[in-house]
Amino acid sequence: MASASASPLPRLVLYHQTTHDPDGNLISILPLITQPGIKITHIIVAAIHINEDPDGLTLNDHPPSDPRFTTLWAELRIAQASGITVLGMLGGAAKGSYTRLDGDKSSFERYYTPLAALIRSQGLQGLDLDVEEPTSLGGIVRLVDRLRGDFGPDFVLTLAPVATALLDPRRNLSGFDYKALETMRGSQIAWYNAQFYCGWGDAHTPLLYEMCVACGWPPEKLVMGLVTTPDNGAGWVPFEVLGATLRMLRERFPRFGGVMGWEYFNGRPGGKDRPWEWAQTMTGLLGSGQAPAVESERDKPPSPVEIDPDSEQGEEVQVPRHFEYHTDDDDDDDNDNDD
């Protein structure tokens, strides 16, 4: 597939879900283009939800055509013109999108058609399938086949499994076996944005990534997913530690797939004031494997840090029951889109 083989390595992928601040002001992605020392390869705008009404598609808590998104879509087109590939993310923690696509043929068509229309209208170059609800293998294969058939060989298809799902189908949020999917449709899937955080993985060392490769996952298709700040979930890895991990992975795997960050708006070290600094720092780490020479106090995780509360006593990591993402409209009690 052209889009997968042509993808630059290592990738630097960044999710963009919290698109506005609490006052409704847009959180601009343009500094990812204008600030020096940043080599973002992919931006994934999140999260697209398929709701009960087939025509009621939402981006987080609002229709994608809502005027609040006009400047967002314009900035994403600027990113594309600057050489960054822009994908949409379908699903996430809010349930229902994949259940609705997993029905019979007529039901699939009703819910798929508005999704395809959104992809076309906004010129999205790919779709990230973040399946966090029970879904059949046949259902996800049908969706992959339809997207490939409708949007051609250069349309980028990725998935976002928790890292443990790549080793054990029982430790999984998606319901289907990712190994089976890779066997059946691996040629159509560009890579996997594997979540190495929130109890589903650990990026403090290269061990889990190496285990995935040892189990047959090609390193060029395995992107290590990170939280960009402790505020976004457990599993934050300080830059000096992460630098050592990435250096070892790049030395061992020349075709290392790269890293992704959840999410843009508050990434360290700059936080909400300068969120692009996470991408700046990661560009340096991926290029040299060296951590910043000096890390200020604001860059360090708060003390004490509960990186993996389920494994402090050496016990088996327990499956988190729920993970709360940030959304644009967390106080909207009438909307169930908890992304």
Confidence class of residue 93 from pLDDT cuts 50, 70 and 90? confident
CATH at residue 138: 3.20.20.80
Please tell me the distance from the alpha carbon of residue 249 to that of residue 242, in angstroms, as a whole number.
Answer: 11
Q: How many domains does the chain have?
A: 1
pTM of the model: 0.85
Q: Quick check: is 162 in a domain?
A: yes
Residue 62 lies in a domain: yes
Determine phi and psi for 302, rounding to 5 degrees: -60, 150
Read off the pLDDT of residues 180-203 as tens digits, 9 standing for 90 and up.
999 999 999 999 999 999 999 999
Helix, strand, or coil here: 6? coil
Element holding 194 (H helix, E strand): strand 191-195
Q: Which two tokens stand for residue 317?
A: 């990591």
Cβ contacts of residue 54 below 8 Å, gap of 6+?
A: 110, 111, 113, 114
Amino acid identity of residue 104, one-letter, is: D
Number of neighbours of residue 219 by Cβ within 10 angstroms: 21
* Residue 103 in domain: yes
pLDDT-derived band of residue 284, with 50, 70 and 90 as boundaries?
very high
Q: Check pLDDT > 50 for residue 136.
A: yes
Distance of CA 66 to CAs 57, 238, 326, Å? 11, 38, 19
Instruction: Tell me, yes or no, whether 77 lies in a domain.
Output: yes
pLDDT confidence of 315, banded at 50, 70, 90?
very low
Spatial neighbors of 84 by CB under 8 A, at least 6 apart, are 32, 33, 40, 41, 42, 43
State residue 273's pLDDT score. 97
Give the whole-angstrom CA distance, residue 181 versus residue 186.
7
Q: Is the pLDDT of residue 291 over 50?
A: no
The whole-angstrom distance between residue 24's C-alpha and the CA centroid of its chain comes to 23
Is 337 part of a structural domain of the chain?
Answer: no
Average pLDDT over residues 262-266: 98
Q: Does residue 130 sit within a domain?
A: yes
Tokens 């290269």: give the residue: 206
pLDDT grade for 6, boundaries at 50, 70 and 90: low
Is 304 a domain residue?
no
Residue 317 falls within a domain, yes or no?
Answer: no
Per DSSP, 68 falls in state: G
Asked whether the beta carbons of 101 and 143 are under 8 A apart, the reply is: yes
| Domain range enclosing 113 | 2-299
Residue 52 DSSP one-character state? S
